[in-house]
Structure 1
Amino acid sequence: MILDEAGMARTDDFAQLVDLAEQHQWRLVAVGDPAQLPAVGRGGVFAHWCDTLPHHRLDTPRRFTEPWEADASLALRDGDPTAADTYGEHGRLHSIHPALVAAAIADVHQAQVGRGRTVAITTNTADMARTLNTEIQRRLDRHDPRRHRSDRRTLADGTHVVVGDTVATRRNDPSFLTDRGDPVRNRHTWNVTALIADGSLTVTHPDRGTVTLPGGYVDRHVELGWAVTGYGNQGDTVDIGLAILEPGTTRNHAYVALTRGRLANNAWIPDPIGIADPATALAEIIDRTPRASSALATQAALHRAAGVEAPWGLGRERPAQTRTPLKPDRPNQTSPPAPPTPALSELDEKVAAMQARFDRLQGAPTRETPDLDRGLSR
């Protein structure tokens, strides 16, 4: 079982997948980049696995046409603020007044699409994405009068859609399958090919195929999709990447937004005063990361803070001799026994030492060793 974009998986979802893998003796292969956007909700499991378990790392970017951009993307990923200077020196960073962002992005989008290039526009917020989408649609209406005479379908956020527009679906629904058998998923983008009288939309994608979305789904879960947030673009590869790095943008978001394009990636940084250096602004973003920590990673940090070695399952790599696959490679192969559980007294001592360390830091009196068996049935 392969889980792509594993960094965006919530802890609860990961737990269910691990349970399924154990029940069915499957191998679970998690693929992704822990430096990209984290899960919406509790997450951090994939990043913790990358920190503590053996894994394979692909560290040679092959997406970019320009070698310098491949190197800059790795520096950005690793939190090196000098990456901002590299992007700036190559003319990829632009400071702009917030009121002019939509027009500037729409101009660039129109020019690049006119040259036959694919474009990904990545924002930090849904509000900015809606503003950009509305402006792009307005430009299309202005340059193609036939669109004014076309049927229109109003969407949930008050915008409208006509044939030829790009939309995004915002809810997984495996009951809707394309003619190629692909299910409709959250954040997929599509081109609208038909508006049906009952409110349905027929949409298509060159890789996924064509599907008709029922009116009820369109009412609640479809929006314009030229510009989307980083979570919508994270898995995409296009010709040109356009990023809007709004206030509050983190390194994870900037890393995703500035690495979608093969030929070029540009970033616009809103500046209401007009005096900010865009390279300095990006360097500050690079220093800002919200990398999620799983409960296990947090426990490991607490062990380290107390000066106590964490069990292998928390903050350090599992011993090689106990590392076994979920499913034996051969029918008669048996897995070696699990590592022995430390004696209760040893755990008591570790917990007491950790608590004493915290108490000293907080100026609280030292507590007695807790009874770990309290409340447990015997």
Structure 2
Amino acid sequence: MSTLQELHSLGVSVWLDDLSRELITSGELERLVGKGVLGVTSNPTIFASALAKGDSYSEQVGELVAAGADTDKAVFEITTEDVRRACDIFKPVYDRTDGVDGRVSLEVDPRLAHDTAGTEESARSLWQAVSRENLLIKIPATVEGLGAISTALSEGISVNVTLIFSLDRYRAVMQAFLTGLEQAKQNGHDLSTIHSVASFFVSRVDSEVDARLDEVGTEEAKALRSKAGLANARLAYQAYEEVFATPRWQVLKEAGARPQRALWASTGVKDPNLPDTLYVTELVAPDTVNTMPGKTLDATIDHAEPNGDTIRGSYGESQQVLDELERLGISYTEVVEKLEREGVDKFEKSWGELLQTVTDELERARTQRDAE
């Protein structure tokens, strides 16, 4: 078996955290599907980067200029076109896995992260525009996002909940998922067609906690470096097991519902001293997804060595890590709240960069058209 096949046999679906027009048109995305990649995620940062490189979008930008599109309309058309085409590439995977994998994620406008009604409307618009059953709409797990998650699911929209850092927020996300499915059932939707993943971020936790441990500077603090991210994620899986063993879930399961899988996001290591597949081999458990940036995916294919389930059985040790951090004066609540704020801010900044890049491309195309 290849490494990706081995991970899949252990219950881990490997998705790529990257999407661009070039990746699609070059055939690279199809090649990765052939290697065992089962889905793809995108976000404003990825789109901004893709648009700033090369001329893959030139033809569509020219068409948008001819149609009189403004910047917001152009961004909408460009991103939904990429995602629609990616959905078509992954459709065979979707069919083969009965809808579990073959998924492509597209995020709502991150400026709406604290606007419940705006997020709901954005989710509907994107869902209708892409018009592919293997789409996942990404909604941030802010307090305001929780209601939008339930609403989207209640309308039959499959959801990727993103920017989850804390265990309490993750539990709230799972409750929002159950509420959404209960409402979907009341609305007459086929629950088996509604899918969801919950994106729990990993490496950013280590980056923030390790910086604080370095400030403490003791031997005890040094011994805790690079342990918080894994501990946090493993305890999230414990919460997942608890929620999806409740009578409330069993009622929905009997009605055809699929569980909301835990997805490990931010799995590229930030510390060069760490193994480059740390957040892959150390986060293996059934019914999980690991979405990897290209560099991490390449490393995983090349030399990762999965060693069975590395999550279940670690809960006591993981809780001890968080307890020891608190004893050193590192507040878990303060860390995860800061990471959520920064996560939303980063996506908003990337969205601004995306808007500026598209504005520049539109202006360039108009100038060229006028010159001709």
How high is the TM-score relative to the length of structure 2? Answer: 0.28
Identify the structure with bigger relative contact order (alpha carbons < 8 Å, sequence gap 6+). Answer: 2
Bigger fraction of residues in strand: 1
Bigger fraction of residues in helix: 2
How high is the TM-score relative to the length of structure 1? Answer: 0.28
Larger radius of gyration: 1
